[in-house]
Structure 1
């Protein structure tokens, strides 16, 4: 049973629940600003990138003032709790990474809230390709090389930097530890940007996050990819092998998404207006191109569909969590 993890900055804390049902009815309501999109991570990461891209498109579509507010820490829980407790008027929302809904409920012993009661799903926005990277000067290329290097250098620090404890990458590495008889330690950060800086300088040997967070340092030749998650290579990185094709099937399903949630008591009319606005923004070619260039794939869906996908992913992760025995306080 795994109960403790090394933390570089902040311990991910209790978080709970899953289904996020939506009862929004068709309404004639329009958006009334200013609106705030809260991001639970530091500026510069994938969540921040997506939030700012959507905020700009919403402004272009006539939504008025849109503020992106970063409230980093606790693996996204600080921002989520802030939105949960916000006035339910449709003006404050959270850009939620799906692991907070599909994995955290399974991995925390003492969940701090119930998303089914405290939150409402508005819309799903993007799929998030994820990957493992290392510093550009490291002596290994590809995940197989990393495993060989780590086993042949037992005194070396083998650590995985993550922005979210309990993420799919975190669980994947625990499975690698089990199958390869290794001890790669997860190290949590407030966001992808500080984590990737430490990866580039060798403070941690490898890092896991959204590809979008990694592209600036990759393009600056500060980091290199060891492999991407999912079943097929990314159009933006066709030369990078998937982790699955390198012999690590644990990462085949290690993908996630971003969606928008609001406080549970937000009126149906406000939820419907937000849903319509985000779905419209998602269809803008310039937004799609902007996100694709950064490694994010637009995948718009209604709140009800987001809730259904959440339930399905929760069910798929349950046996993985049970097998790895991960528990976080």
Structure 2
């Protein structure tokens, strides 16, 4: 074959390849077979992962498209956030995030690689994760009011266990200490198991963590529940008062939550479609029952409510964080 013919064929093949590679990302992403990704910042098998997979099953039907769950653990869910903010804004990539990257991290980190108000678009407020104050059954107090009276008499024993410094529980403890005039000390543990072990052993007077991780010990009579975070009692434990009801202010906005976000630039009509699909999913009885067993309460609020809540919670915690002088680092 003459060399010039070979060159012509190579040129034609190269032009074809360049033409294919030059197809805009939008055209590829818009393909009907492109699966939707739900990205979470925690490993497979945990409560958030199970929640995401439960939602994925619902969205497969309501959106009539394949839906996958992608686990991107690390950096306190910031790796997952970064994955989504860089994704094509076509509604095919959804972040399900806890509250801190949007409410607390902008206050505690000197610099973040993302803008929580500009890089992502709120879609729906999905679930609450109530936290509960507990103590060992060997302690002399049976209620939060009794604990507060006890710690005022013994201020040197004002340590309060938690699993993460720099979160809402940390700053709630500081707020409560200021209110009662006792320097309560947020005491970080490497995990809830170690914290609860010290509670049961009597060396930790009080600890605060998610309801789900404490229920088994509570039912076994190893710990007492003294109060839940939030502004209203949780349906998971309707007989347990809120901490505010029990005379311990500072935790009204300290409950955890999970919400959905998409990359900035996602068309409003697409956001609205996802909002409806997600809210319909969490309002179903089977989802509510399944997630209640994991310590979650399905909430179901639209994007506008989520946006306002993030703004209000950040404003509420800002003076507390600034007064504490706390800064976060990895």
Q: CA deviation at 1:172?
A: 0.5
Distance 1:59 1:223 in 2: 41
The reply to whether residue 310 of structure 1 matches residue 306 of structure 2 is: no
Unaligned runs of 5+ in 1: 1-28, 190-194
Q: CA deviation at 1:300?
A: 1.8
Distance 1:216 1:42 in 2: 23
Distance 1:249 1:219 in 2: 27
Equivalent residue number for residue 236 of structure 1 = 236
Greater mean deviation of Cα atoms: 111-120 or 220-229? 220-229
Q: CA deviation at 1:270?
A: 4.0
The reply to whether residue 106 of structure 1 matches residue 107 of structure 2 is: yes
Distance 1:136 1:33 in 2: 54
Q: CA deviation at 1:196?
A: 2.1
Q: CA deviation at 1:171?
A: 0.9
Equivalent residue number for residue 276 of structure 1 = 276
Distance 2:33 2:140 in 1: 54
Unaligned runs of 5+ in 2: 1-29
Q: 1:143 to 1:125 in 2, by over 3 A?
A: same
Distance 1:257 1:242 in 2: 17
The reply to whether residue 225 of structure 1 matches residue 221 of structure 2 is: no
**Deviation sequence 1:93-147 (CA, Å, 0-9, x none):** 2212223212222222223321222111121212332222346676754445556
Equivalent residue for 2:195, pick from 193, 199, 208: 199
Alpha-carbon contact 2:152-2:182 (below 8 Å) kept = no
Greater mean deviation of Cα atoms: 211-220 or 225-234? 211-220
Q: 1:101 to 1:237 in 2, by over 3 A?
A: same
Distance 1:151 1:30 in 2: 67
Alpha-carbon contact 1:123-1:279 (below 8 Å) kept = yes
Distance 2:300 2:102 in 1: 18
The reply to whether residue 41 of structure 1 matches residue 42 of structure 2 is: yes
Q: Secondary structure at the match of 1:166?
A: coil
Q: 1:264 to 1:184 in 2, by over 3 A?
A: same
Alpha-carbon contact 1:43-1:70 (below 8 Å) kept = yes
Q: 1:261 to 1:241 in 2, by over 3 A?
A: same
Q: Cα RMSD between the aligned structures?
A: 3.5
Distance 1:173 1:256 in 2: 15
Equivalent residue number for residue 16 of structure 1 = none
The reply to whether residue 182 of structure 1 matches residue 179 of structure 2 is: no
Alpha-carbon contact 2:236-2:295 (below 8 Å) kept = yes
The reply to whether residue 252 of structure 1 matches residue 267 of structure 2 is: no
Equivalent residue number for residue 117 of structure 2 = 116
**Deviation sequence 1:146-181 (CA, Å, 0-9, x none):** 563697495x79352235x43321211122344443
Distance 2:246 2:317 in 1: 22
Q: 1:305 to 1:66 in 2, by over 3 A?
A: same
Equivalent residue number for residue 10 of structure 1 = none
Distance 1:216 1:55 in 2: 28
Counting matched residue pairs gives: 294
Q: How does 1:1-329 map to 2 (within 5 A)?
A: 34-42=35-43, 46-61=47-62, 63-134=64-135, 141-144=142-145, 148=150, 152=154, 154=156, 158-163=159-164, 165-178=165-178, 179-187=180-188, 195-202=191-198, 205=204, 206-215=206-215, 218-219=218-219, 223-329=223-329
Higher relative contact order (CA 8 A, sep 6+): 1
Distance 1:70 1:33 in 2: 18
Distance 1:42 1:137 in 2: 35
Equivalent residue number for residue 12 of structure 1 = none
TM-score of the aligned structures, taking structure 2 as reference length: 0.72
